[in-house]
Structure formats: structure tokens, C-alpha cells
Amino acid sequence: MAELNETIHQPVRLQIMAALVTLEAGNEVDFTYLRDLLKVTDGNLGAHLRKLEEAGYIAVNKTFVERKPHTYVSATEAGRRIFREHVAALEKILKGK
Amino acid sequence: MNISPTEAEEALAAIQTMAQKTRKSIASGGTYITLIITGLVWLIGFLSTQFLPVGIVAYIWGGLSLTGTIAGIVLGSRMGNRVRSPSTAPMIRRVGLFWLLLAFFALAVIAVARPADGKQATLLVILFLMLGQMAMGLLFSFSSVWWTLPITALALVGYFLLPGIFYLWMAILGGGGMIALGLYIRLRW
């Protein structure tokens, strides 16, 4: 049964997950791109990403591109499933209005 | 965890907005750069073709094509770093091969058809370029396909109905239109 997820429901984390699950499975986005898309600060985004990573909903990949450090973020399979369940729970609440 | 229907509605709206924003951002990323670079090349190139002697025009087009290609590769690879996809990485070599083969076919068609004048040769090159761009759009992001159709239509209208000012038409409406569209996608989407 679909249930609401407290970790995901926080507004910024909800937007992070919405952006990441929109990408095709396996695709990852640059940290700065995600920061600009969400219009949040580096520190704010970093803190929310840590929470999602600890929960196992996203994967963070630190690498070098053309000798510059880059951080890439993607939704894990578990994260995609939990997010789908969260959306289904929200829709159920709305239908029962 | 319990929330009200109003909160649920707001959360769903926020999800939908972010998903739409992400899709548009990814789709427009490469498109606006392609449009602005190609538009600048066309604007300068076709204005030169309309008003300058043939001898100088060949050098201008050569320089513009080289600069445009280098700028496209550099900016395109920077934009490509924003979203990484394991499925598209092996495609890069095939994309390069596709453009090389398309150039070969374009040259072969022009050699066989022997265009009567520069306008006919230009239109053939434009048609092949738009075909290539459309293929790239269909391959990577369907939302970046549509702009090739009005540009192709503009080129055909200019060629058949306004042959006297064909190059000027392509510079202002083709090149200028692409620049305006690229800026619109960058600033307003």
C-alpha cells in the first residue's frame, strides 16, 4: 500500500526527487545544475542531498571532468520506487477530499 | 504521517512544476546554443553573400563554418557535463560518423545534380543541414526537432518566391530568427 514518506515530503527534498526521477534511469545531474534549477544555496542543497543519500534514495558520485572536481547526483532504484509510492499516496489523499 | 488534501494538492503541484522545469531545461540546453551559433553563422554568412564579391565570400563562409563548429563542440561539451547519461556516451562516435556521412551524401548530391547557381547549391546544403539537425533532435530530445521545420519552410519560400533577395531573406529571417528563438528559449523558458 502506498504511504507518505517523511524524508521525501520536505519541500526542497520533494523538488530534488521530482527533478531526479524525471531523468531517465541511470542518468545523473551535476550539483551546480541542480542548485540552479532549484534556486537554493550550495549548503542548503548539500544538506538535503546528504539526508536523501543516507536514506538510500539518491547516489552521489564525486569525479573529475577535465581536471575539475564535479559532483553528480542520481535517483537510485529504491528512491524512484519510494517516490512513486509517495506520489500515489498524495493522489489518494486528494481523491478522498 | 498525516497531511490535509490541500497540502497534498500543493505537493503534487510542486512535483509537476519541477518535473516540467527539468524536462524543459534539459531539452533547451543544447537547443539554444545550436540556434544562436547557427543563427550567427547564417546572419553574417548570408549578408556577406548578398552584398560582397564571390571571392571574399568563400573565405568568410570557410572561417564562419570553422569557428561555428569549434564553438559548437566546446559549448556543447560543457552543456553535456550538466547531465551525464551512460546510454548516450557510446552514441557520440556514431553521431560524428553520421555528420561525416551526411556531408559526403550532400557533396555527392550536389556533384550529381550540378546546381545551376549558388542559390540552388545553398538550398541543398540547408536542406541537408536541417535533415541532420532533425535526426539529432529525434535521437536525443524530441522537443528540439520542431524548429528545423519553420527554418526549412522559410528557406523554401525564399528560394521559390523571392529569388532576388534569397540570401538577405536567409540572413534576416533564417539567421536572425534562429538567434531570436535561441535567446527566447534561454531567457523565457
pLDDT band at B69 (very low <50, low <70, confident <90, very high): confident
pLDDT band at B1 (very low <50, low <70, confident <90, very high): confident
pLDDT at A56: 96
- Chain A, residues 15-54, CB within 8 A of chain B, namely 15, 18-19, 21-24, 26-30, 32-33, 37-38
User: Per residue, what are the HEC states of B108-177?
Assistant: HHHHHHCCCCHHHHHHHHHHHHHHHHHHHHHHHCHHHCCCHHHHHHHHHHHHHHCHHHHHHHHHHHHHHH
Closest C-alpha among A34, A29, A16, A38 to residue A73: A29
Residue B142 clears pLDDT 60, i.e. is over it: no
What would the pLDDT profile of B47-58 be if each residue is shown by its tens digit?
999 999 988 998
Whether the model pTM is above 0.80: no
More confident residue, B96 or B62: B62
3-state secondary structure at position A95? helix
Q: For testing the chain A interface, which of B73, B83, B141, B143 should be mutated: the one with the most A CBs within 10 Å?
A: B83
Number of cross-chain residue pairs from A and B with Cβ atoms under 8 Å apart: 81
Q: Let me know: does A23 contact B83? Beta carbons within 8 Å.
A: yes
Contact (CB<8Å) B1/A6: yes
Cell 553535456 locates to B80
Min distance A81 CA to chain B CA atoms (Å)? 15
Contact (CB<8Å) B15/A6: no
What would the pLDDT profile of A44-96 be if each residue is shown by its tens digit?
999 999 999 999 999 999 988 767 788 999 999 999 999 999 999 999 998 87
pLDDT at B46: 94
Within 8 A of B4 by CB-CB distance, chain A residues are 93
Residue A24 clears pLDDT 90, i.e. is over it: no
Cβ contacts of B144 within 8 Å, gap of 6 or more: B27, B28, B30, B31, B34, B136, B137
CB atoms within 10 A of CB B97: 10
Within 8 A of A91 by CB-CB distance, chain B residues are 8, 12
Contact (CB<8Å) A22/B9: no
Mean pLDDT of all residues belonging to chain B: 86
Residue A10 clears pLDDT 90, i.e. is over it: yes
Q: Rounded to 5 degrees, what angle do the CA atoms B71, B77, B82 make?
A: 130
User: Among A67-76, B61-70, B137-146, which stretch is predicted with the lowest mean pLDDT?
Assistant: B137-146
Min distance B14 CA to chain A CA atoms (Å)? 7
pLDDT at A21: 95
Tell me if chain B has a CB within 8 Å of the CB of A11: yes
Closest C-alpha among B188, B189, B184, B135 to residue B35: B184
Residue B87 clears pLDDT 80, i.e. is over it: no
Contact (CB<8Å) B87/A9: no
Once rounded to an integer, what is the mean pLDDT over residues B146-167?
A: 91
Q: Smallest Cβ distance to A19: which of B1, B22, B86?
A: B22
Within 8 A of A70 by CB-CB distance, chain B residues are 81
Contact (CB<8Å) B18/A15: yes
pLDDT band at B90 (very low <50, low <70, confident <90, very high): low
